[in-house]
Structure 1
Amino acid sequence: MKNQYTQLKNTYFLICSLLLFGCSNSNQPSILGYEFDEGEKINITIGNQASLNIITKYFEGYNNKDLVTVESLEHEDFLGFANTGQVIEGSKQHIEMSQQFLDKFPNAKWEILWSISSDINFKNKASENWVTTCLNTSFGEGENRNNFQRIFDAQIVDGKIKKAYLYQRNMSDREVE
């Protein structure tokens, strides 16, 4: 009788396990949030994780003053929107500006705090992959040292940055210490 009870218990456990795990939809993407497009709510889902490596290499390039690497990770027709309202049109313009910045502030440093890749699967146009990254950025000397926290939101197309938005805030002395 005890053996029959154990066999029944094991069969019950097996059926419950199959129902629990076998009926789940593992192909459905995890929803991170949403955006509105033409008045319609579109889900934002977990994106291509390889895109995170592009952003890591991009800021490693800046930290190493290697603008050849930075340029190689941008599309030629790169479009950037700075926190100041400035629009950067083309990778060449962006690299020229970056070189001027690095010449003026050779101690500039970018530290990635977090980065998230997400996909937006539109219904009436191509899907988009975006990587949103939070960075601590510092440059300058002594009392002229600047410490900013930035959000860099980059659209990744074919393994390169196509478009980017930069948001920024000043860090408090308490955060910098």
Structure 2
Amino acid sequence: MSDTTRTEPTLEPFPEGPSPEEKEAAQAANDADALNQAQAELAALQAKNAELGEQLLRAQAEMQNTRRRAEDEISKARKFAVEGFAESMLAVVDSLEAGLAHKDATAEQIREGTQVTLRQLKSALERNKVIEINPAAGDKFDPHQHQAISVVPLPPESTQDANTVVNVLQKGYLITDRVLRPALVTVAAPK
């Protein structure tokens, strides 16, 4: 057998928990960390708030500038809307003045000059999207573009349908797709 010595287990005292002072110090350290973290978050949120406030002010200023520019453009558009039309009418005015300045013109020359001036006028109107409404006899009456001055009975031998244009008393005009003046027409009465 071997000689072994047996030692008795020694009981060490069970460590006691932290003292109340240590607990208080740990709690104070935790509170200080939480306070520092909350202050950092608050500073970050305040910086973000200031940045968003600045972005809002810039957006509002940009919106006001855009609105002002749009109002200026609308004002200019209204003021100078007829500029293109007026410019195209200048050639017509020049032709009329030239015709009136020619004192020794014959009736034929006056007629030719008037026809040229009328072509210039019609061309200027077409360039500015003023389109003539001149329905032919027999065209269906269109209340959107024609104004019936009278309804006339057709002779029995007529093959023209009822509710069609018989005669144009005055041409009408469209500007783009809008009726500027309807054509004044007489319309065939029902048989």
TM over 0.5: no
More helix by share: 2
More strand by share: 1
TM-score, structure 2 length as denominator?
A: 0.27
Structure showing greater relative contact order (alpha-carbon pairs closer than 8 Å, 6 or more residues apart):
1
TM-score, structure 1 length as denominator?
A: 0.28
